[in-house]
């Protein structure tokens, strides 16, 4: 007798029904739009990130999709969901491909890492350390050939890996086990709505997007374009609004000692707060209040001993990380992982109990070798072959680079068996468990600091392992992506064709955009305020962890920062907060927001986003009613696009100024 499926699983699956047929989504029209994003939006995205710390990646994808929809509407062309989905996929990949090289040239020049004695252990295959080479600010020289070649190789393996173990996990959990993947329809429904709207006459999306775009242009002209244009023309830029924030720590430290206090006037953060879940923003604000009370208490208790009056906000953060928050944050992360594991497993057990009462769903093993017709699947053995090939290359490359291309070893070699364990035991295990959790309850299974702990316990001495392409992955996210692709009715062969076009664009763009920005000026420098403020702090926090595997006195920073009692206190405090909040059945976003906010929340981002959350909930939601959730997403995308256009205008002036300077006399 056939067994009945769990009703809740069936409800999840019916949120968006699986299509009966699949269509090709790749076309030269999508390629042209992706190239448009690569030529115009990708450089602006990277420049905005360096100048103001702004991210427009998701917004850029939706900007391109909405623009494409409106162009086709006026050409009386009806768009297919697969075509829009592939366009969104390609744009997202191009936008995310611009980083990496600029950070590498900085990390080998970081003053904080130099103080720790780490730079001399960073291998040349990661980035050249010669000051004369770095002073040229040029990636097109022989010294950068190996680092760039390795980056391109690892990027290729990453793109190839999309059709490896992640695809196999999708086939196992979606086709064979028939798990619902409750979060997969979220992305698919957005594409579906736009595809349906492409044939309608109602244009609220375009009006809302245009309204947000005009606001983004107006603010971006003052906040981003004006300093770049005036800086290109005059010796000193004119900045009306401070970028990225104004530091008032020296004025507040009398009341709140050891509390970093900065204020950001970035209107984009207010818009982001409107889009983010309200209770998550509320939790972050409560975490900020906690930090404002907790830091002075720690200072007067003699815990924050490295802080001194007058050192400013960034140095205050740095001192507090060394004294307390490095270990405290690890404890919080472990607690968040434990809470997430408890939440996921309890939900999983509940569903399993319901399934036992209603009848377990049938495991359709035949579908592992016979996927739905027309979906464009590759054979399961091909997916396994890609996984074994890429993992073997990762293992061989890491072992060779770390043990034979990183200078004289100060201790034993990094164990080959540990790399094999990462690639062929831990990665399949965590990927399958995490994918099943995603399939059942829409959550992954994070295990924080597993990689870092094994690095430290391996006995290896040096920095090379921290920058090597270690095969330590969780492919659950890729499995969810394949499920989303299926729900849009897109043939998987469309993804393969898109990758063939994407990779050359990404490889060339990665080097070209980085070279363009580096040629403008040193990164970081006063030309790039956000990077100038935060990159050294990020390097310092990264260096504390790297120093754990350094030989001799170079390991002192980690020994000083790592305090087991503080780690346990962070874990215990987070678990206690969770127990209290969970006891009163408070929203889960509030619970996670407060716990994550215990990690020295900083006001420059939280305050404007909290203001945005209040405006969204108590002003705009009342005005627009049930339409507000849809309006705010499109408005935020338009606002980010407008700021991007303003940034591109300023970037154009900078380019022209630099070109004039370089002309021969």
Q: Over range 138-143, report the average pLDDT.
A: 94
Residue 554 has pLDDT above 70, yes or no: yes
Widest CA span in the chain? 89
484 or 68, greater pLDDT: 484
Confidence band for 393, pLDDT divided at 50, 70 and 90: very high
Residue 125 has pLDDT above 90, yes or no: yes
What is the predicted pLDDT for the residue at 260? 94
Residue 275 has pLDDT above 80, yes or no: yes
Residues 6+ apart with CB under 8 A from 406: 121, 123, 125, 462, 464
What is the predicted pLDDT for the residue at 7? 46
Residue 16 has pLDDT above 50, yes or no: yes
Quick: pLDDT tens for 211-242. 888 998 999 899 988 888 888 777 778 888 88
Tokens of 606: 């939280």
Q: Over range 148-170, report the average pLDDT.
A: 92
Quick: pLDDT tens for 421-451. 999 999 999 998 888 888 876 767 677 888 9
d(CA 284, CA 590): 8
What is the predicted pLDDT for the residue at 53? 77
Q: Would you say 81 and 486 are in contact if contact means Cβ atoms under 8 Å apart?
A: no
What is the predicted pLDDT for the residue at 503? 87
Q: Over range 512-522, report the average pLDDT.
A: 87
Residue 8 has pLDDT above 70, yes or no: no
Q: Which of 71-75, 277-281, 319-323, 549-553 has the highest mean pLDDT?
A: 319-323
What is the predicted pLDDT for the residue at 661? 45
Taking the model in full, what pTM does it have?
0.83
d(CA 169, CA 434): 10
105 or 587, greater pLDDT: 105
Residue 528 has pLDDT above 90, yes or no: no
60 or 151, greater pLDDT: 151
What is the predicted pLDDT for the residue at 20? 80
What is the predicted pLDDT for the residue at 193? 59
Residues 6+ apart with CB under 8 A from 72: 78, 79, 198
Q: Which of 71-80, 367-376, 539-548 has the highest mean pLDDT?
A: 539-548
442 or 599, greater pLDDT: 599
Residue 291 has pLDDT above 80, yes or no: yes
Tokens of 18: 């699986």
Q: What is the number of H-type helices and E-type strands within the chain?
A: 32, 2
Four-CA torsion 189, 60, 239, 135, nearest 10 degrees: 140
Q: Cα(first)–Cα(last) distance of the chain, in Å?
A: 89
Tokens of 393: 């290359």
What is the predicted pLDDT for the residue at 520? 83
Q: Would you say 646 and 268 are in contact if contact means Cβ atoms under 8 Å apart?
A: no
What is the predicted pLDDT for the residue at 378? 92
What is the predicted pLDDT for the residue at 192? 65
What is the predicted pLDDT for the residue at 219? 93
Quick: pLDDT tens for 298-349. 999 999 999 999 999 999 999 999 999 999 999 988 888 888 777 667 666 6
564 three-class SS: helix
Taking the CA atoms of 513, 517, 522 and 527 in sequence, report the sign of the dihedral they define.
Answer: negative
What is the predicted pLDDT for the residue at 33? 75
Taking the CA atoms of 373, 374, 379 and 383 in sequence, report the sign of the dihedral they define.
Answer: negative
Residue 1 has pLDDT above 80, yes or no: no
- Lowest-confidence pick of 58-62, 130-134, 177-181, 262-266: 58-62
Q: Mean pLDDT score of the chain, rounded to an integer?
A: 83
What is the predicted pLDDT for the residue at 236? 78
Q: Over range 162-183, report the average pLDDT.
A: 87
555 or 469, greater pLDDT: 469
d(CA 636, CA 612): 11
311 or 407, greater pLDDT: 311
Strands 262-263 and 246-247: antiparallel
Q: Over range 636-649, report the average pLDDT.
A: 79
Confidence band for 352, pLDDT divided at 50, 70 and 90: low
Residue 9 has pLDDT above 50, yes or no: no
| DSSP label of 143 | G
* Length in residues, the chain: 665
Residue 575 has pLDDT above 80, yes or no: yes
6 or 110, greater pLDDT: 110
Quick: pLDDT tens for 22-55. 999 888 878 887 777 777 667 777 787 888 777 6
What is the predicted pLDDT for the residue at 660? 55
């Amino acid at each position: 007798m056939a067994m009945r499926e769990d009703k809740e699983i069936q409800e999840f699956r019916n949120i968006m029904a699986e299509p009966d047929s699949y269509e090709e989504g790749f076309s030269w029209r999508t390629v042209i739009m992706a190239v448009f994003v690569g030529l115009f939006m990708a450089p602006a995205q990277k420049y905005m990130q360096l100048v103001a710390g702004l991210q427009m990646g998701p917004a850029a994808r939706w900007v391109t999709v909405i623009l494409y929809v409106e162009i086709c509407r006026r050409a009386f062309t009806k768009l297919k969901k697969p075509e829009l989905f592939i366009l969104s996929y390609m744009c997202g990949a191009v936008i995310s491909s611009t980083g990496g090289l600029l950070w590498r040239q900085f990390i080998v020049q970081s003053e904080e890492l130099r103080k720790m004695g780490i730079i001399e252990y960073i291998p040349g295959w990661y980035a050249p350390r010669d000051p004369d080479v770095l002073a040229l600010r040029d990636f097109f020289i022989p010294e950068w050939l190996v680092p760039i070649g390795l980056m391109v190789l690892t990027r290729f393996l990453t793109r190839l890996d999309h059709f490896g173990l992640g695809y196999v996990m999708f086939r196992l959990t979606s086709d064979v086990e028939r798990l619902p993947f409750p979060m997969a329809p979220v992305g698919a429904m957005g594409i579906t709505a736009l595809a349906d709207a492409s044939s309608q006459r109602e244009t609220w999306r375009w009006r809302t997007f245009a309204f947000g775009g005009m606001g983004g242009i107006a603010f971006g002209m003052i906040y981003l374009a004006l300093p770049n244009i005036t800086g290109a023309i005059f010796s000193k830029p004119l900045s009306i609004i401070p970028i990225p924030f104004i530091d008032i720590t020296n004025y507040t430290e009398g009341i709140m000692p050891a509390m970093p206090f900065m204020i950001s006037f970035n209107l984009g953060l207010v818009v982001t707060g409107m889009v983010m879940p309200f209770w998550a923003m509320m939790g972050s604000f409560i975490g900020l209040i906690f930090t404002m009370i907790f830091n002075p208490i720690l200072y007067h208790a003699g815990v924050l001993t490295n802080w001194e009056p007058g050192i400013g906000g960034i140095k205050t953060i740095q001192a507090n990380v060394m004294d307390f928050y490095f270990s405290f944050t690890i404890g919080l992360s472990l607690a968040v992982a434990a809470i997430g594991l408890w939440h996921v497993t309890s939900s999983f057990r509940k569903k399993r109990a319901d399934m036992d009462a209603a009848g377990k769903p049938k495991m359709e093993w035949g579908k592992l070798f016979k996927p739905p017709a027309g979906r464009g699947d590759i054979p399961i053995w091909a997916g396994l072959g890609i996984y074994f090939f890429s993992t073997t290359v990762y293992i061989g490359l890491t072992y060779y680079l770390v043990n034979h291309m990183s200078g004289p070893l100060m201790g034993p070699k990094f164990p080959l068996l540990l790399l094999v364990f990462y690639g062929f035991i831990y990665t399949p295990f965590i990927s399958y468990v995490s994918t099943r959790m995603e399939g059942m309850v829409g959550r992954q299974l994070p295990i924080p600091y597993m990689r870092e702990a094994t690095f430290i316990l391996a006995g290896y001495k040096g920095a090379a392992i921290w920058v090597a392409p270690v095969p330590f992955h969780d492919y659950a996210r890729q499995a969810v992506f394949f499920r989303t692709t299926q729900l849009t009715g897109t043939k998987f062969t469309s993804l393969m064709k898109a990758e063939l076009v994407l990779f050359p664009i990404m490889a060339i763009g990665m080097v070209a955009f980085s070279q363009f920005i580096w040629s403008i000026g040193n990164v970081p420098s006063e030309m790039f305020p956000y990077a100038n403020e935060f990159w050294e702090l990020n390097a310092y926090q990264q260096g504390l962890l790297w120093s754990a595997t350094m030989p001799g006195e170079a390991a002192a920073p980690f020994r000083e920062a790592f305090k087991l009692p503080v780690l346990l206190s962070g874990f215990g405090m987070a678990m206690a907060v969770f127990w209290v909040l969970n006891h009163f059945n408070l929203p889960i976003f509030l619970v996670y927001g407060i716990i994550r906010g215990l990690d020295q929340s900083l006001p420059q981002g939280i305050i404007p986003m909290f203001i945005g959350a209040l405006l969204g909930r108590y002003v705009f939601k009342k005005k627009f009613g049930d339409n507000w959730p849809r309006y705010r997403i499109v408005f935020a995308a338009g606002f980010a696009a407008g700021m991007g256009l303003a940034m591109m205008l300023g970037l154009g002036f900078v380019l022209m100024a630099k070109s004039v300077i370089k002309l021969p006399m």
